[in-house]
Amino acid sequence: MHRPRQMPMPMELPADHARARFLTAPCNAQAIAMIDAPDWPAGKLVVTGPAGSGKTHLLHIWAAQHQAVLLDARALATRDLTELAASGAVALDDTAQIAGNPQAETALFHLHNMLAEGRGRLLLTARKPVRDWGLALPDLLSRLQAAHHVAVAPPDDALLAGVLGKLFADRQVIVADNLIPFLLPRMERSLAAAQRIVAALDAEALARKAPITRQLAADVMQKSLDFG
């Protein structure tokens, strides 16, 4: 069976993680419901899902709602744990990165306990469930495995179409009706890819002083395959 060629897009855009920009769909409805929940069992939650599924967006939404300290998990080993715990709410992105780092694992163990003692809240994201992180500290593993866990599935076509449409609308760009159906089977299945694709098509259209059509998208796709 012929596999559709995907459109690799090297351009990156600054992420907008506002709550209003999060599009709810069946693949993420349970996760956003937990983010919006007033409390979690034992005050801790682990959100998992593949790259580009919106985990970091969820992290930013929750951090803004609760004035939480938001960190890349790799930075944890160098932070003042007492100060972090005093904030009452901490969000760690891509937490599985700490596996095999004794200082970082120990830091998260102590932070977890300090937040639990102070009835604080801890939100963690990762691509896989805790059991698959490869944590070396047994006490940390047992505590995190006890956290409530919610998974985010890769975005489906309906969500990706909605995201693409919103991104074009945000740029005040009108596209042909057949463009988004053309892009969907050829793009990486992630929200980040949708941002890159829209940025690339908009840039090409501006350079050509032409509308964004299916033919323009095909040209950009071919150029990416030739030079990517």
**Residue 7 clears pLDDT 60, i.e. is over it:** no
**Residue 30 clears pLDDT 70, i.e. is over it:** yes
- pLDDT (average), residues 183-191: 86
- pLDDT (average), residues 137-152: 96
Measured from the Cβ of residue 107, the count of other Cβ atoms closer than 10 Å reads 21
Alpha helices in the chain (DSSP H): 29-36, 55-66, 81-87, 102-117, 138-145, 157-170, 179-183, 191-208, 214-227
Question: What's the CA gap between 6 and 23, in Å, rounded?
Answer: 23
pLDDT band at 51 (very low <50, low <70, confident <90, very high): confident
In this prediction the pTM is 0.74
Same fold, 19-151 and 157-227: no
Contacts of 1 (CB under 8 A, 6+ apart): none
Residue 2 pLDDT: 38
Question: What's the CA gap between 79 and 72, in Å, rounded?
Answer: 11
Give how far Cα 185 sits from Cα of 7, 163, 197, Å.
Answer: 10, 15, 13
pLDDT band at 15 (very low <50, low <70, confident <90, very high): low
> Please, are residues 160 and 185 in contact by the beta-carbon 8 Å criterion?
no
Residue 225 pLDDT: 53
Question: What's the CA gap between 179 and 156, in Å, rounded?
Answer: 17
The domains of the chain are located at 19-151, 157-227
DSSP annotation of 29: H
Measured from the Cβ of residue 2, the count of other Cβ atoms closer than 10 Å reads 4
> What is the widest separation between alpha-carbon atoms in the chain?
60
Give how far Cα 13 sits from Cα of 95, 114, 197, 222, Å.
Answer: 23, 37, 10, 21
Task: Say if domain 157-227 classifies as CATH 1.10.8.60.
Answer: yes
**Residue 122 clears pLDDT 80, i.e. is over it:** yes
**Residue 224 clears pLDDT 90, i.e. is over it:** no
- CATH number for the region 19-151 comes to 3.40.50.300
Question: What's the CA gap between 25 and 14, in Å, rounded?
Answer: 23
